Chains A and B, each alone.
Chain A
Amino acid sequence: MSRRFWWRSFAERADDPDYLAAIAHEFPEPHGEGGVDRRRFLQLVAASAALAGLDGCSSLPPEHIVPRVEPLAGEEAGVPRYVATALVQEGYATGAILQHRMGRPVKLEGNPDHPASLGAADATLQAAILDLYDPERSAAVLNSGRVVDWNKLTLLLAGKRTDWAKTGGAGLRILTGRMTSPTLAAQLAALLKQYPGAAWHQWEPMSRDAVAGGANLAFGKPVEALPQFDKADIVLAIESDAISSAPGHLAYARAFAERRRAAETGQGKMSRVYAIEATPTLIGASADHRFALKPAEIETTLRAIAAAVGAGPNEWQDGDRPHWVDAVVADLSTHKGVALVHAGAEQSSTIHSLAHAINAALSAPVRYIEPVAVGAADIKSLAAEMHAGKVDTLLILGGNPAYDAPADLGFVEALKRVKLSIQLATHADETAAVAAYHVPALHPFEDWGDGRAFDGTAAIVQPQIRPLVPGHSAAEMIALLAGAQTLDPRKQVIDHWRQTTPGDFDTVWAGWLRRGVIPNTAAGAASVSLRGDFAASLPKPAAAPGLTVLIRPDPFLRDGAQANNGWLQELPRPLTRLVWDNAALIAPATAKRLELGPEDVVEIASAGGAKVRVPALVAPGQAEDCVTLSLGFGRTAIGAVGRDVGVDVGRLRRAGALWQTGATLHPTGEHATLATTQHQQNMAGRDMVRTRPLTAAEDKHETVEASLYPRHPYDGNAWGMTISLSSCIGCGACTAACQAENNIPVVGREEVMRERAMHWIRVDRYWGGTPDAPEIAFQPVPCMHCEDAPCEVVCPVGATTHDSDGLNVMVYNRCVGTRFCSNNCPYKVRRFNFYGYSGNDPRPAMSWNPDVTVRGRGVMEKCTYCIQRIREAKIAADRDDRPIRDGEIVTACQQACPTQAIVFGDINDPKSAVSTRKATPLDYALLEELNTRPRTTYAARVTNRNPAIAEG
């Protein structure tokens, strides 16, 4: 097996002496070592011993047991219940199942029956549960910042309704985000019929206008194209968001990964993936060939490819083009019917139309469907009307346009000219500060509603808990404008579906709620044919600006609506490992040319005249002369978690240029420190990530196992895990799932910089090769559960020991916090509570998982393989006097993983899924030379490179 030099930071790559010295310290800056002399140390020891002794004298306060007054049907105390719902994000619904403990939802899991989830859940979806319990949610109706009674607003609107009845609703405008909810769309349609003078506008910061525009250019209608990765032997990804954030990305990632690990499972043929992109994406990291090109070059290259496969005029092939294009074209044209192109939502309409044209020429495995979202007028026309003073009443249903509307619309100024503006939102945010009225919104887990998935499948959103704050729902607000007899959102949803459903509605309704999906509601297939004048109708390529700024959604915060969510803020971004910050990603060569040092603050001035000051981060794999900035940061009006975190780069966006703009960049001479988790540990050249070419996937792998001691027998169950590096796309869903399941605290920016992030499963990101065209690999690292665990032998109090199933267990109540175990752990997977992080967390006690101890200060913790789930399954099996079935225990990370990269089970059972995966010759243990015999092993990453393209 050939060894590749993998590195995680520039300093590590260069063996920078300062860096080596810095990481050699036990306590890295800014904490520092020393600072306390011997005398002071003894004083503190004496004082803490005395205080600890006093503490032991107090008796525990009495504890109460509070049963219900009336029993709740189907509830058993202490037994979790699971309730289906759907979460609508950026307009599209994803099915979810919430785990309830004694009536309170504590964990979100994917709904296996829902086409957009298939049982998986991404980080943003899982973090929604923390939003529900956010103590800083808005809880009162505000009128110019002052708390007023809800009835004041209803009375005001009753008066307005009388006016609208006369004027036909002139001056009434409604602004929503992307809309797939059949109920709300029907309600709005009825409202517009009732008030013909009113109008409905939409503003979705995560715009997919270019996607629709591309379909319009290619086919003359805005159909949606669903790539079928399960049928694709060759994939060409143009800065594709298919497996990271596009609607349906969890389903795409599942199908994508199944083809990527074909060598491991022996099922099907491994796909070959090419990625062309200006800034690295998750699919680019998984690709066999990744080419970093500037946006203008991407278009010309795609034109050349289109022409070569017969989807465009020959003159598109004129001019210089990269050496690899011919090889890619050859691969595509010899795989007609099984090759597809997918472009990300941030790409231009032209690029999307070119992708459609190539797909048409290749008869690509793409399903075309009628658009799922219901369209309306745009925000530009609304802003113009508002500026002109033509808008009398504006209802903003969700969304935060004062923060995220394109800067050139002057939305804040426009909003001030509206006589009565009402905003419905979960937080008193930037828009609430300008709007006349702010109405607290119900969280989707407290509300009724519905929504469609990426393929059109509808699902009902049902409340999981009684509202924690006195909020209101979107359906209620529209009903209020219409003067409906009832404002009850449940009634609105039921009434809508009752009208459109034949047969016994009450029975089918109960089935929909139980399953979380409305069957047979997927959108119909659309017939498409490429427009004859397609090639001629394409706009001429624009001249490339000197420096291009790419404005991209943050992988987790997206448009910033979830900025007050500590889990998302602290989840390391897949490629940059940044937390609690955004940065300007700059290619190494460009940084060198501009003489930028790491984390130098730069000022970026867009062609539109807007300026932002952002710390620079040199990002391998970034195209030259391209700066990537991420949205979702710099919130000024939200809770304490998200306020003033990072820089708001949304002000560079203009209505016609949401995703990229020409710009100039100047170093300011200032310096900032970014919080990242990437360079906190040194690999010292060890062989962590292993890759193999597909041609060598079957080669046997030599393992040396030498010990003077006989192996300890494990006769019962022997739990083990395997992680497929070919499948892992680095999305971070596992880390988020672990955080939710195992009560892992959020530590904050400062503490992350002191290397005290608490995540039990980290996803290491490696660069391979040169900084300009690196290979990218991800490796999730949980506790390895070594059979010969180095941590155990050094614990002076036996707080970490083995159990009979071979698990390395951690006994929090025994731990005295020496941290010897962490120091002796070769994998660095142990986490120490330097402070009482959980105790200081303002989230309500009811939101923690009651099955897992909430750890206090001074206690070591680490991945337990979800021991609570193992024990629960074991007890259930013992109760019925049967063995535990394979697949009965699913760890939280395994459950959330969209690509099924993680498999857990009994390695004593040769037929179990985990044993089968471990039997592949790709299986290897991390640092196996240490003889720790880890229970967690990895399947080496297989690459399927095109032999016609030389290694770059």
Chain B
Amino acid sequence: MTPIFGPAANLVSKLVLLALGGSLVVLLLVGWIGPSTEWASRVGYPVEQPVPFSHKHHVGGLGLDCRFCHTTVETSATAGMPPTHTCMTCHSQLWTNAQMLAPVRQSLADDKPIQWTRVNRLPDYVYFNHSIHVAKGIGCETCHGNVAQMPLMEKAHTLRMGWCVDCHRDPRPNLRPKSAEFAMGWHPTAETPSGDELFKQEHIHTAQELTDCSVCHR
């Protein structure tokens, strides 16, 4: 009587077991690392918009201040998106026939708002407040990246909780003097006060207070 399993079966069964174990490890690694990848968190992927608004042109080229459009960044939780009216302050005079700006003109004519696609998105259970970050010396660039180099807006950081908490544990490396908060491509110089000095000057709370759950979750 011939055996059901030939000698090769030993090898096959070992390989199968190895492959199973291996795939489990791979699966765990993918699950662990996958979400942090730039691909998964969409860092560096430009987002298509109804109007291809270029921060590179408006901020980098023309030198518009962030607050020209994002008016409530110093007083409110949200930075604020400009109403069509803001676009038309200039574009009723400049590039009045540009095809690219047709949706803006249409919005004003129809009294229908432009629907921008959100780039930097937090989950609903996270309550981020722009005003307090700006008040305490966190520059726009720290989270949003150097938008003066972005023809189309893209995410600069993962915005995952670990990334937020890194700074909340020690904000010193990211603090800027008030004069440099809205600057892009800024680097500290020899005259710049140190992170420690800024930390004391702004009366920033301790790491324990800044990492309270209730700071962001309500």
Contacts and interface: CB of A to CB of B under 8 A. Distances in A.
Given A76-B80, A78-B76, A871-B218, 9 more contacts: A65-B116, A65-B118, A79-B76, A807-B214, A809-B217, A814-B213, A853-B124, A854-B124, A871-B127
B209 interface: yes
Interface string B93-130: 00000000000000110011111111001011101010
B118 A67 contact: no
Contact of A67 (B75, B113, B124): B113
B131 interface: yes
Given A71-B83, A79-B72, A875-B129, A813 B123 contact: yes
B212 A804 contact: yes
B118 A879 contact: no
A69 B108 contact: yes
A852 interface: yes
B125 A812 contact: yes
B76 to A, nearest CB: 4
A946 interface: no
Contacts of B115: 64-66
A705 B177 CA distance: 48
A64 B208 CA distance: 35
Given A804-B209, A813-B217, A879 B81 contact: no
Contacts of A803: 209, 212-215
A803 B121 CA distance: 26
A70 B83 contact: yes
A62 interface: yes
Rank and list the top 3 A-B pairs by shortest CB-CB distance, nearest first: A803-B212, A78-B78, A78-B76
Interface in A623-645: none
Interface string B199-218: 00011011011001111011
A68 B214 contact: no
B209 A853 contact: no
Contact of B125 (A62, A64, A813, A879): A813
Interface string B126-149: 010101100110000000000000
For B80, B81, B114, B213, which residue has the most chain A Cβ atoms within 10 angstroms? Answer: B213
B85 interface: yes
Contact of A78 (B77, B125, B206): B77
Interface of B: 71-72, 75-78, 80-86, 107-108, 111-118, 121, 123-125, 127, 129, 131-132, 135-136, 202-203, 205-206, 208-209, 212-215, 217-218
B84 A875 contact: no
B2 to A, nearest CB: 39
B161 to A, nearest CB: 9
Contacts of B71: 76
Contacts of B127: 851, 868, 871
A70 B72 contact: no
B81 A69 contact: no
A801 interface: yes
Contacts of B75: 76, 79
Contacts of A868: 127, 218
Contacts of A851: 127, 218
A519 interface: no
Contacts of A878: 132, 135-136, 203, 205
A318 to B, nearest CB: 67
29 contacts: A66-B113, A67-B80, A67-B81, A67-B114, A68-B84, A68-B113, A70-B84, A70-B85, A76-B76, A76-B80, A77-B72, A77-B81, A78-B76, A79-B72, A79-B75, A803-B212, A804-B208, A804-B209, A809-B212, A809-B213, A812-B125, A812-B217, A851-B218, A853-B124, A853-B218, A864-B214, A875-B129, A875-B131, A878-B135
Which secondary structure dominates chain A's binding surface? loop
Given A69-B84, A813-B125, A871 B116 contact: no
A327 to B, nearest CB: 54
A262 B115 CA distance: 58
Nearest to A807: B214
A809 B214 contact: yes
Q: How large is the interface on A (under 10, 10 to 19, 20 to 34, 35 or more residues)?
A: 35 or more
Interface in A767-825: 801, 803-805, 807, 809, 811-814
Given A62-B117, A875-B129, A879-B135, A77 B76 contact: yes
A284 to B, nearest CB: 39
A807 B125 CA distance: 18
Nearest to A852: B218
A63 B42 CA distance: 14
A54 interface: no
Contact of B215 (A64, A69, A871): A871
Interface in A44-94: 60, 62-71, 76-79
A595 interface: no
A73 to B, nearest CB: 12
B10 to A, nearest CB: 33
Contacts of B121: 60, 63
B209 A716 contact: yes
Contacts of A871: 127, 214-215, 218
Given A76-B75, A78-B72, A803-B212, A69 B116 contact: no
Contacts of B114: 66-67
B118 A69 contact: no
Given A67-B114, A868-B218, A878-B135, A77 B78 contact: yes
A881 interface: yes
A867 interface: yes
Contacts of B208: 804
Nearest to B47: A62
A870 B209 CA distance: 14
Contacts of A864: 214, 218
B77 to A, nearest CB: 4
B117 A64 contact: yes
B212 A69 contact: no
B53 to A, nearest CB: 12
A65 B213 contact: no
A879 B131 contact: yes
Contacts of B205: 804, 878
Interface in A566-623: none
Contact of A867 (B72, B85, B214): B214
A102 B202 CA distance: 31
Contacts of B209: 716, 803-804
Contacts of A853: 124-125, 217-218
A48 B36 CA distance: 25
Contact of B80 (A77, A805, A809, A879): A77
Contacts of B136: 878
A811 B117 CA distance: 29
A164 B112 CA distance: 46
A67 B218 contact: no
B213 A67 contact: no
Interface in A875-897: 875, 878-879, 881
Nearest to A800: B213
Nearest to A879: B135
B212 A62 contact: no
Contacts of B81: 65, 67, 77
A70 B86 CA distance: 8
A67 B49 CA distance: 14
Contacts of A804: 205-206, 208-209, 212
Nearest to B212: A803
A70 B107 CA distance: 10
B212 A811 contact: no
B217 to A, nearest CB: 5
A871 B202 CA distance: 18
Contacts of A811: 213, 217
Contacts of A867: 214, 218
A395 B214 CA distance: 55
Contacts of A805: 212
Contact of A62 (B77, B118, B215): B118
Nearest to A67: B81
For B78, B123, B206, which residue has the most chain A Cβ atoms within 10 angstroms? Answer: B78
Contacts of B116: 64-67
